[in-house]
Amino acid sequence: MPRAHGPAVLAARIRATPEDFRVDELPGFEPSGSGEHLLLEIEKRGMNTAFAARHIAAWAGVPESAIGYAGLKDRHAVTRQRFSVHLPRRVAPDSAGFDIEGEPEYLRLLRHDWHSRKLPRGALAGNRFVLVLRDAQGDRAAVEARLQAMAARGVPNYFGEQRFGRGGDNLTHALAMFAGRRVGREQRGLLLSAARSAAFNRVLAARVEAGDWDTGMVEGEVWMLDGSRSVFGPEPLDAALAARVAAFDIHPTGPLWGRGELRSAGRVAALEHAMLADGAWPRVRDGLEKAGLKQERRALRLRPDALAWAWPSPDTLRLEFALPPGTYATVVLAELGDFNGT
DSSP letter assigned to residue 160: P
Cβ atoms of 248 and 230 closer than 8 Å: no
> How many CB atoms are located within 10 Å of the residue 32 CB?
13
- Per-residue CA distances from 10 to 43, 143, 155, 259 (Å): 31, 7, 16, 41
**What is the distance between the alpha carbons of residues 334 and 338, in angstroms, rounded to a whole number?**
7
**What is the distance between the alpha carbons of residues 49 and 19, in angstroms, rounded to a whole number?**
17
CA-based nearest residue to 93, from 64, 56, 120, 66: 56
**What is the distance between the alpha carbons of residues 132 and 128, in angstroms, rounded to a whole number?**
14
Task: Kindly name the residue from 20, 24, 74, 139 that is annotated as catalytic.
Answer: 74
**What is the distance between the alpha carbons of residues 195 and 202, in angstroms, rounded to a whole number?**
11
113 is catalytic: no
Q: At what angle do helices 185-210 and 281-290 cross, to 10 degrees?
A: 130
- Return the exposure string of 52-64: e unless at least 16 CB atoms fall within 10 Å of the residue's CB, then b: bbebbbebbebee
Annotated catalytic sites, by residue? 74
